[in-house]
Amino acid sequence: MDELSTIKKVAILGSSGGNLFYLGGKEPEKLLEELLLQIEAAGMVCGTLQFIAAKASMDAVKENTPAELYTWDESTRKPTVIAKGTIADVNTTASQLDSEIAAKIAKGEMDAVIFMSADPNGANKSAVEAAAAMNLPATGTGGTSMAAIASKGVNVISTSGTTGTTNRTRAVTFLTSLSKHFGVPYRPIIGKALNNNQLDKTSVLPFQRINLRGMMLSSLPGFIAMALVLALSKIPGLTMLGEVFDLMINALPVILAVVAAKQVADFDDVSIVAGIVAGVLSVKGGLIGGIIGGILAGLLVQYIFRKCVEWKFPATTVNIAAGGIAGLISGLAVFFLIAPVALWLGEGIRSLLDLLVSTNGALAGLIAGLLIWPAIIGGVYHAAILPIVLLEMEKTGNSFLGAVDMAGLVMVSAGITLANIVSPRDKGEAAVAAPGFAINMGFGTFVEAAYPFMFSNKYIFAGAILSSGLGGLLVGLFDVRGTAYVPSFMAPLLSNHMTGFIIAMAGSLICSFLITLSINKISVKKTRNTVKENEIAG
């Protein structure tokens, strides 16, 4: 048998709906994109499409409400708009398309139907009758419309209302039901489509989506917000913000749990809710507890969601069970079992670092400064150093390694780029260096701006490490706690030692600037001498 003939063709029929309008229907492209993504993941294809997208909820629609009609373009294999105008005009065209789709169904060209807030007595009347006559398996959402569709004899294998659903959870529910009916394998795709509608197969397995570095980076804004609150609380008249700071410390595990759950499950609001529930119950475990709770919640969301769909629970119930129960189970596991161990581990890491710094702060800072450039270039920084920075910030709002980051990476990069603005080896380098310097100084990030200059000259590379070591030494000497990822002029305000941090930042910046400037001038001089020698020889 021809392989193409075994591929199931699905008809998508419906509208932006009443309640559905507020749950994804008002953005039809995203709604259809998610549905098509899951259809392809199940090894099926879209055979035909009729989707009426109104600019208002169908519960309050009027004859002059603007609307668009989407259909399936076989040449591009994408949804396309074939009619625009008032809802009355669009419904007229939709009725004609309905007849064409009914004919396709009657000829046996469709294998299944997905309904979303369809109108079995109006725009979808002929297609519904044809689906009933051909006994096509159907699934969909929209309580009232699905009840009417079932009453017309359509073989509805699963149905649900739209309350509490999202584009992704609806699509996964539809395809889980259809794949089970046809006996074909299906694993939901969690991720975006790539070019030419190719799926991101690497994001299929939940365990493969666990990325600690990504969780830390995504959660960083919460830590910076906490550091800002700490700095403001030191201003006379704003001491009441100290209570806000304490509250935000307790919120950090929740932030990490939400980010982790969203990353692992990526079921939109469902995974976010599960992460919040798990995070609230994981607060006693600190950052590590929050991460563990979020990861567990994300994994459980996927498992519970699929099981509930297989048991033919309504989509609304599926979402409630997946979000609520997954968050509760994972949160309770952390609360009663994991939190003490996670808290002990976090405290142990902080205590070890504090011991090293208190024993010989200058030496500890020097070593950290010398190693931080090789660490970020080798990919170790975000995997090892950043988590420690966040663990430090969880307790005090700033960090020893965070201060080394600002002085040893950001300021050194700024110094190198500044030197290439003032005295570049050629004019083109100044244009490359200027944006990097501005970003480092203005935002406390983009240390990679120095890479072109460091990698093109081993002496500048060595100068960067030397300057970073000096910055780290000064950080340790003054026992500074601070943070990067903020404007350079603001960083000292967020530290525990403003003067010391200014000295450390200025020291590393000036050192890297002078070294790079000297190397550039020597390089330019050598180039000129070489040119003169060639001219004389010529």
What pLDDT shows up at residue 535?
A: 63
Which band of pLDDT confidence, cut at 50, 70 and 90, is reported for residue 469?
very high
Identify whether 303 is part of a domain: yes
Same domain, 325 and 366: no
What pLDDT shows up at residue 464?
A: 95
Sheet containing 66-73: order of strands: 78-86, 66-73, 45-54, 9-15, 112-116, 137-141, 155-160
Helices assigned H by DSSP within 360-489:
361-377, 386-396, 400-405, 411-422, 427-443, 451-456, 458-477
R_g of the chain, CA atoms, integer Å: 30
Same domain, 119 and 148: yes
Q: Could you tell me which of 262, 256, 284 has the C-alpha nearest to residue 346?
A: 284
Identify whether 355 is part of a domain: no
For the chain, what is the domain count? 3
Instruction: Give the number of other CB atoms < 10 A from CB of residue 441.
Output: 19
Same domain, 213 and 100: no
Same domain, 193 and 234: no
Which band of pLDDT confidence, cut at 50, 70 and 90, is reported for residue 190?
low
**Single-letter residue type at 360:** N
Identify whether 112 is part of a domain: yes
**Single-letter residue type at 521:** K
Q: Tell me which of 301, 317, 349 is where a domain ends.
A: 349
Mean pLDDT for 90-102 is 93
Which band of pLDDT confidence, cut at 50, 70 and 90, is reported for residue 419?
very high
Identify whether 354 is part of a domain: no
Identify whether 400 is part of a domain: yes
Q: Could you tell me which of 288, 290, 266 has the C-alpha nearest to residue 278?
A: 290
pLDDT of residue 103 exceeding 50, the answer is yes
Pairing of strands 78-86, 112-116: unpaired
What pLDDT shows up at residue 1?
A: 41
Same domain, 278 and 385: no
Same domain, 250 and 188: no
Tens of pLDDT, residue by residue over 25-45, are 889 999 999 999 999 989 999
Same domain, 213 and 188: no
Calculated CA dihedral for residues 262, 268, 269, 275, nearest 10 degrees? -10
Identify whether 70 is part of a domain: yes
Same domain, 110 and 242: no
Backbone φ and ψ for 80, nearest 5 degrees, come out as -140, 150
Same domain, 128 and 266: no
Q: What is the CATH number of the domain that holds 23?
A: 3.40.50.2300
Q: Side-chain half-sphere of 424: how many Cα atoms within 13 Å?
A: 16
pLDDT of residue 50 exceeding 60, the answer is yes
Same domain, 191 and 223: no
What pLDDT shows up at residue 181?
A: 92
Q: Tell me which of 203, 223, 254 is where a domain ends.
A: 203
Quickly count helices (H) and strands (E) in the chain.
20, 7
- Look at residue 221 and give its three-state secondary structure: helix
Q: Tell me which of 321, 349, 377 is where a domain ends.
A: 349
Domain that holds residue 525: 360-535
Same domain, 339 and 378: no
Tens of pLDDT, residue by residue over 129-172, are 999 999 999 999 887 888 899 999 999 998 877 777 788 888 88
Same domain, 144 and 43: yes
